Chains A and B, each alone.
Chain A
Amino acid sequence: DAGVIQSPRHEVTEMGQEVTLRCKPISGHNSLFWYRQTMMRGLELLIYFNNNVPIDDSGMPEDRFSAKMPNASFSTLKIQPSEPRDSAVYFCASSFLGQNQPQHFGDGTRLSIL
């Protein structure tokens, strides 16, 4: 079975550039989550969607970060302009909506901003 698919797996770019991370959730799942993982802060929830609608974006660090979910099978996380401190691994996860539903993670995008 196809799991959560993220692209690209690795991204290296210079500061100031726009970065777009992509996620395809597991088919049938209707909740989608974006996380950022760093050694210093661990795994942080950035934003999540239920039925393609953003529910809680309180974890989005700054206005430079934005996320969209135009349909049930695709979501993007965009950083514009990027800064070196944005360097991290970004994970997407999906689940069925509701209580007691485990989230399933993709293998992440390792982002390096030079």
Chain B
Amino acid sequence: GESVGLHLPTLSVQEGDNSIINCAYSNSASDYFIWYKQESGKGPQFIIDIRSNMDKRQGQRVTVLLNKTVKHLSLQIAATQPGDSAVYFCAENMRENGSGGSNYKLTFGKGTLLTVNP
């Protein structure tokens, strides 16, 4: 089956540098993508999302880029801080056709561990 995967399982950066976390997806029909941050002992926390009719979206210190041609998603974190250290997951929203209409569920990548060095 199709799945979401990550290029790098770990990323180590210096405090203040920019971080880029990458994700490849394989389902060309996916039309909505989300980045989550998971800290130790906590559940995944929503960071930012993007629809397939966009190629870039910016939030506070974060930017998500979507390249549908090569099915690639990235999360950029500006001026990375120690509090950004966590596992980051990308997720794609997949539609299922059911008797009651369309239903949606997320498929998650395996995650990238970001470590910020002081």
**Which residues does A use to contact B, with CB under 8 Å?**
4, 31, 33, 42-43, 45, 48, 50, 53, 55-56, 91, 93, 98-108
Q: Any chain A CB within 8 A of the CB of B42?
A: yes
Contact surface of B with A, Cβ cutoff 8 Å: 31-32, 34, 36, 41-46, 49, 51, 89, 93, 95-96, 98, 100, 102-111
How many pairs of residues, A versus B, come closer than 8 Å at their CB atoms?
61
User: What are 27 A-to-B residue pairs whose CB atoms are below 8 Å?
Assistant: A4-B43, A31-B104, A33-B105, A33-B106, A42-B108, A42-B109, A42-B110, A42-B111, A43-B44, A45-B107, A55-B98, A56-B105, A99-B31, A99-B93, A100-B32, A100-B49, A101-B104, A102-B46, A103-B34, A103-B106, A104-B46, A105-B36, A105-B43, A105-B44, A106-B43, A107-B42, A107-B43
For residue A53, which residues in chain B have a CB less than 8 angstroms away from its CB? 100
B102, A99: Cβ atoms closer than 8 Å: yes
Q: What's the minimum C-beta distance from B54 to chain A, rounded to whole angstroms?
A: 11
Tell me whether B106 and A100 are in contact (CB under 8 A). no
